[in-house]
Chain A
Amino acid sequence: MASISLKDLVKTYGDVEVLHHVEGEIQDGELIVIVGPSGCGKSTLLRMVAGLETVTSGEISIGDKVVNKLEPADRDIAMVFQNYALYPHMSVRENMAYGLKIRKISKDEIDRRVKEAAEILEIGAYLDRKPRQLSGGQRQRVAMGRAIVRNPQVFLFDEPLSNLDAKLRVQMRLEIRKLQQRLGVTSIYVTHDQVEAMTLGDRLMVLNGGYVEQFGTPIELYDRPATVFVAGFIGSPSMNFLPATAQDGTVALGNGAVLAGGAQASGQITLGVRPEHLVQDDAGAIRIIVQMVEQLGANTLVHGVLEDSETEFVASVPGHVTAEAGTLMSFSAAAEDLHVFDVTSGKRIEA
């Protein structure tokens, strides 16, 4: 068990800096999800913690030990890879026992630990099979088993569920979470899937272009996104952004509609409002010309453009709503559900 601390981490490939001064403290037993679009540097960051990539500058510590110069083997970590990276020529049992064998742990102890891990993951029946005789989900479990038998201080997950089908992914997601809570091992989990990130993480680190956009609990990120990027990335369907002008506690949209909110801001702003925070209200100031309606059963997504503008807009309305394309619908939003961002920096302006 250990905490992890990232101090002023920089990674460059040649002249290209791919991670810019990443900072973060991870508490003992926490599961941190690093999330971001592809190419944002999230895997690189994870691989730096694992010791598979060198650190250009800055410091990574696991426990109170700086591990920058340590070999992966000496960092007391275990990693689950996207393609599982099981040893194809070894049986499931040998795969799981390999790390222990290298560490010269007694045979009885290895057998005990492998059996225990196999029980937890329900793969006891496949111990003598080769990886290629297993299904994707079973391979995934073996990869997890290989990580947990080692009893490491830190688990690293590199998009472990992205090769599974949607249903299995949801199921394994829950299992990973349960397992991590049961074992209480500090974990870093990399994914590009924001739903996975929200459901798994104690805290989320949102990376974009090598910068940490925000580092906080899922609810913090949802309720108070620090930047336009986080606001757009977290939540599905994603937040609506509208150019607007703020003045004296009100916000005027491009088409002249005026909403209450955005107290501290003045001048040009980007206004953000989540589809699910829009309330259908015939007297509402946000008027949309409907283009298309998606019925999801529990709720309905109304796609349209803001009246007298070309700004696309999505509203999520509970229950069943039908509307012909071209009709007008009006919505209102509470002042506390309006997010105000600076136009140039994209940073949140606190209301």
Chain B
Amino acid sequence: MLKRVHFPTSALPYLLVAPQIIITLIFFIWPASQAVYQSFLIEDAFGLSTEFVWFENFQILFEDSQYLETFWRTIVFSAAVAVLSMGSALILAAFADRVVRGATTYRTLLIWPYAVAPVLAGALWVFMFNPTLGIFPYILEFIGIDWNHYLNGGQAMTLVIFAAAWKQIAYNFLFYLAAMQSIPRSLIEAAAIDGAGPVRRFWDHIFPLISPTTFFLLVINAVYAFFDTFGIIHAVTQGGPANSTTILVYKVFNDGFVGLDLGGSAAQSVILMILVIAMTVVQFRYVERKVEY
């Protein structure tokens, strides 16, 4: 046991941490506890009375096939966004790592999309893919694809996945590039002398050596797809057509503020809260620790 150094007790340390604690209490703990409390209430249709019902809201949710569908859809959406954006970022980073001339320009340009707000990113994609005005539906028509994400649920989902993934590429790219550049040059040179070509070097050495980054990004991207894509979906499809792009976080908004089922909405956000806590635990437990290779 290390002996603690004893200082005379004073109010100063408490004063110094107070702002952080106050912010956490007001903006995180209080709303979260309100959500938990709300999730135990059911309001009547006119908002005149509320009834405390314990877990009835949750029970209703898990018996609702629509909610379970949304759950499943969210998982598909998140997986697709993570794979797409991480895959693209990995390829771009692998090339950026090899580029000698104009490397800074290349990197700067790749980082830009990260500065675009989600709603703006969504708006960009809406314009590009507008069935009547957009450039992409025009091009797609030549290869026989009739694009209309206002009517076709699959296409709508594809569009929000692309928009969400596109926005996250810059972030993933930065982390991948940093990870690749931390691999000692001589290691790659040794592999080259051993006879490994660029592709082989990537899969045999670079990819395994950046696996800690991959795990880290996997969690970050999952959290991103679960929660931060609200703006994109709201701008592009508003959850439609026929709920085909409604993911959990969008359903919270929709049920709460459009459907005015505050109790149900609160129950959903409590579930999301538990999910975030679980993911954070996973990250701290397994990812922060160096991945074994």
Given contacts A88-B209, A102-B200, contact A83 B186 (CB under 8 A): yes
Chain A residues near B186 (CB, 8 Å)?
81-83, 85
Is residue B103 within 8 Å, beta carbon to beta carbon, of the partner chain?
no
Q: Which residue of A lies closest to B188 (CB)?
A: A85
CA distance A72 to B192 in the complex (A): 6
CA distance A126 to B209 in the complex (A): 22
A48, chain B: closest CB distance, angstroms? 13
Chain A residues near B197 (CB, 8 Å)?
73
Tell me if A89 and B189 are in contact (CB < 8 A): no
CA distance A83 to B184 in the complex (A): 9
CA distance A345 to B191 in the complex (A): 44
Is residue B135 within 8 Å, beta carbon to beta carbon, of the partner chain?
no
Tell me if B192 and A87 are in contact (CB < 8 A): no
Chain A residues near B208 (CB, 8 Å)?
89
CA distance A72 to B293 in the complex (A): 27
CA distance A146 to B194 in the complex (A): 9
Is residue B193 within 8 Å, beta carbon to beta carbon, of the partner chain?
yes
CA distance A71 to B189 in the complex (A): 11
Given contacts A87-B187, A88-B209, contact A79 B195 (CB under 8 A): no
Task: Identify which of residues 147-197 in chain B touch chain A, using a CB-to-CB cut-off of 8 Å.
Answer: 184, 186-187, 189-197
- Interface residues of A, count at CB 8 A: 23
CA distance A98 to B205 in the complex (A): 11
CA distance A83 to B190 in the complex (A): 11
B206, chain A: closest CB distance, angstroms? 11
Task: Identify which of residues 56-86 in chain A touch chain B, using a CB-to-CB cut-off of 8 Å.
Answer: 71-73, 77-79, 81-83, 85-86
B202, chain A: closest CB distance, angstroms? 14
Tell me if A50 and B193 are in contact (CB < 8 A): yes
B290, chain A: closest CB distance, angstroms? 11
Tell me if A71 and B192 are in contact (CB < 8 A): yes
Is residue A243 within 8 Å, beta carbon to beta carbon, of the partner chain?
no
**Candidates A73, A77, A82, A89; contact of B293 at CB < 8 Å:** A89
Given contacts A81-B186, A102-B200, contact A87 B205 (CB under 8 A): yes
Task: Identify which of residues 292-339 in chain A touch chain B, using a CB-to-CB cut-off of 8 Å.
Answer: none
Chain B residues near A150 (CB, 8 Å)?
194
Is residue A183 within 8 Å, beta carbon to beta carbon, of the partner chain?
no
CA distance A304 to B72 in the complex (A): 86
CA distance A88 to B186 in the complex (A): 12
CA distance A323 to B14 in the complex (A): 68
Is residue A103 within 8 Å, beta carbon to beta carbon, of the partner chain?
yes
Tell me if B187 and A73 are in contact (CB < 8 A): no
Chain B residues near A83 (CB, 8 Å)?
184, 186
Given contacts A89-B208, A89-B209, A89-B293, contact A77 B193 (CB under 8 A): yes
CA distance A1 to B200 in the complex (A): 28
A44, chain B: closest CB distance, angstroms? 13
Task: Identify which of residues 107-143 in chain B touch chain A, using a CB-to-CB cut-off of 8 Å.
Answer: none
Is residue A99 within 8 Å, beta carbon to beta carbon, of the partner chain?
yes
CA distance A102 to B208 in the complex (A): 17
Chain B residues near A71 (CB, 8 Å)?
192
**Candidates B184, B192, B205, B209; contact of A73 at CB < 8 Å:** B192
Q: Which residue of B lies closest to A97 (CB)?
A: B194
Given contacts A85-B186, A89-B293, contact A78 B193 (CB under 8 A): yes
Is residue A52 within 8 Å, beta carbon to beta carbon, of the partner chain?
yes
Tell me if A99 and B194 are in contact (CB < 8 A): yes
Tell me if A52 and B293 are in contact (CB < 8 A): no
Tell me if A79 and B200 are in contact (CB < 8 A): no
Tell me if A102 and B196 are in contact (CB < 8 A): yes
Given contacts A81-B186, A82-B186, A88-B293, contact A102 B192 (CB under 8 A): no
Tell me if B189 and A87 are in contact (CB < 8 A): no
**Candidates B190, B205, B293; contact of A81 at CB < 8 Å:** B190
CA distance A87 to B293 in the complex (A): 10
**Candidates A50, A87, A88; contact of B191 at CB < 8 Å:** A87
Tell me if A102 and B195 are in contact (CB < 8 A): yes
CA distance A249 to B189 in the complex (A): 56
Chain B residues near A88 (CB, 8 Å)?
187, 209, 293
Tell me if B190 and A85 are in contact (CB < 8 A): yes
Given contacts A88-B209, A88-B293, contact A79 B193 (CB under 8 A): yes
CA distance A82 to B189 in the complex (A): 12
Tell me if A81 and B191 are in contact (CB < 8 A): no
B98, chain A: closest CB distance, angstroms? 14
Write 11 A-B pairs (CB below 8 A) sorted by A numbering: A52-B193, A72-B189, A73-B195, A81-B189, A85-B189, A87-B205, A88-B209, A89-B293, A98-B194, A99-B195, A103-B195
A residues within 8 Å of B by Cβ?
50-52, 71-73, 77-79, 81-83, 85-89, 98-99, 102-103, 146, 150
Given contacts A72-B189, A73-B197, 8 further A-B contacts (CB under 8 A): A73-B192, A73-B195, A78-B193, A79-B189, A81-B190, A85-B186, A99-B194, A146-B194
Closest 8 CB pairs of A and B: A99-B194, A89-B293, A73-B195, A85-B190, A85-B186, A102-B195, A81-B186, A72-B193
